[in-house]
Every structure is written in structure tokens, then in C-alpha cells.
Amino acid sequence: MLPRDELQRTARQMNLPGFGPEQQERLHDARVLVIGAGGLGCPVMQTLAATGVGHITVFDDDTVDMTNIHRQILFGAPDVGRPKVEAAAERLRTLQPGIEVEAVRERLTPDNILRALSGVDLLIDGSDTFATKFLAADAAEITGTPLVWGSVLRYRGDVALWWSGPGAPSDGVGLRDLYPAQPDADSVPDCATAGVLGVTTSVVGALMATEAVKFLAGVGESKVGRLHIYDALTTTIRAFTVARDPARPLTAALGSYADACAVDSTQGQSLIDALSAGTAHALDIREPHERAIADLPFPSAHLPLSEVERDAAAVERALAGYAPGDEVVVYCAGGVRSGRFVDTHHALAEQLGISLVSLPGGVQRWG
């Protein structure tokens, strides 16, 4: 039986056709685990708490940064520097005073995720790396936990309900039926610089929360394997049905999950040491607004890639300023753009007698 204040708080919702006290009690009794208190996790948790989900566990090891606030709507400027799970839990309790929030300031890993899923009715993946997404999908399949999955990049977002493994429907579909293998680092944009429109995360998060509420309350149509693709610039949603691959064996054990943004720390440290000693020169190819967020603690030349796109001779002019024998450490936010820059212009550098090398991990790792 729902507490009186919860009945009053959700009364308007229970006026809906097909959505009464029974459905509201299902939400109240549900146990949901959310991965990430970020751009997707924040609107998902905000909506679920307001709608009446009674228990939310959230895993995130990060703290609130000023650059988060434009899309991570549970946070405000006074929260900068606080653990995300702590600030999120505080906000969720104001939306639903009776909610149980378990705030875990950790990353989910192969060592703890199966234990974390014990007793969970629904897993919601709001993470932002392929490594975590494939870890979550495999763990969900091993334990038979339904998974609401979402991703956002630039102006696009994807949403789906996956359910496979023990207890799932016979035609259940998992993430690996769509993506059999984790993409490598070169197949995705720079983790730190691809960009995302803040409102897109709210829209996609709301769609994820809608799928979660329908599934938990038992209303509407919860179609396992239905992939929804949202385009913010055209305000359209396309949908595709992903079929179960009968030739794919179900995941039976967790594997290794390499982060697409992983870096070579040994090489990176040697380059940082050279910059610190003054035996190498730093060349920043980020845009001006990125430099305002964070930078390396060394003097650097600045050659934005947008300038290179406008003026093909800009690279030659910049490199001509170095002396033969100089080592130039090119860096960006995460190392992807600098790697491509070095690959594209290494021949010119050799003609000028200088060496170009990309800083693995960029400012995100070494700033």
C-alpha cells in the first residue's frame, strides 16, 4: 500500500487510463540501478524519482565540474567539486521524500557489477564510454537483467530496451545482437571534443525514463530490441527492430573492456617530462574555447584546427617557426585529433627537419 503522501504526490498520474494504484505501487516497489550521474543519468533519475520509482542505486566516481552543468540537470553551480552521486541523491530526495537512494561513489567494473545487479529489477545505462556500455550489456545478459540503454553524441541520441539471458523472453535481444564487438578507438570521435547539445541529453534521458516506467509499471508497449534514433536538428525519431542473432551464443562470463580513451601513460609521461625540461615544444591544436576550460602547465603555440581548415598553408607557416632538430609535442583534449594531425603532417615535418609526436590522452589526461 502506498504511503498517503505518495498517493497525494502522484494522484494526477493515477488519473491516466490504465495507470492506477496498482501501476504506481509497481513503481514504488521497483529497484533500479543507474550507471552514471551525467548527461543521461541526471534526467533519467530526475524523472524516475518524480514519477515514483521507490529505490534508485547510482554508481559514479566523478565530481561535478562547471562544464557539466549545461546538460547534467540535477546540478547547479554550488555543487561544483562535490561528488556527483552525493549531489544527485540530495536532489532526488527533494523530489520524492520517501525514496531510497543508494549513492555509490565507484565505477562499475567486472569485479563488482554482477554483485551490484543482485535484486535489481532494471539496469539503466547512462554511461559515456563503449567499455562501460559493453560491460553493462554483458552483465545484464549474464544475470538476465532488463537493460534500458541510451547514448548521445552531438545532436543525435539512441535509446533501446535490451533483455536477454536467464528469464528473458525466448526471442530476447541483447546489445551484442546489434554490436557484436566493442568498436576500437579509431572508430569513434574524440571522447572529450565531439560535443553534445545539452537539451539533447534531456530529451534522450526522458525517452529512456519513459521506457523504464512503461516496463516497470506494465503499461503500454515495451518492445525489446526496438532501437529509437532521435535527431535534434530535425526533431524526428526513427525506429528499427533489432532481431536476435540465433548464431550468437549468450554471454556466459565477463571479459576485458578496453576504454576507447585509454592512453599510453609511459609515452605520455616521457613527453610531459621533455616539455617540463624545455627539451620539447608544445603545439596546441584545440579551439580557443577549449583552452579556456583547461590546459597543460607549459608554454605552447596555438594552431586551431579550424584555422587549418580555412587556410591550408597555416600548418607550414607554424612548423617553419621551429628549428631543425626540434621535437614538437602536438596535443588536443584527448589525443585523437593530435594523432591525426601528426599522421597528416609528419612528411612536412621531416622535410623541415623537425619531429612531430602526439601526446596520448591530451589535456584530459595530463592537464
| Residue numbers annotated as active site | 191, 332
Please state, in angstroms and rounded to a whole number, the distance separating the CA atoms of residues 111 and 79.
30
What are 301's strand-pairing partners?
A: 283
Q: Tell the residue number behind the cell numbers 559514479, with chain if given.
A: 60
> Exposure of 84 by Cβ count < 10 A (0-12 exposed, 13-18 middle, 19+ buried)?
buried
Of 125, 103, 98, 105, nearest in space to 44 by CA: 125
Give the number of other CB atoms < 10 A from CB of residue 347: 9
Q: Tell the residue number behind the cell numbers 591544436, with chain if given.
A: 285
Residue environment code for 132-156, b if the CB has 16+ CB neighbours within 10 A, otherwise e:
bbbbbbbbbbbbebbbbbbbbeeeb
Please state, in angstroms and rounded to a whole number, the distance separating the CA atoms of residues 48 and 96.
10
Please state, in angstroms and rounded to a whole number, the distance separating the CA atoms of residues 224 and 276.
54
Please state, in angstroms and rounded to a whole number, the distance separating the CA atoms of residues 140 and 166.
10
Looking only at the bridges linking them, the beta strands covering 122-125 and 100-104 are: unpaired
| Phi/psi at 43 (5° precision) | -65, -30
Q: Which three cell numbers, joined as nine digits, stand for 73?
A: 540537470
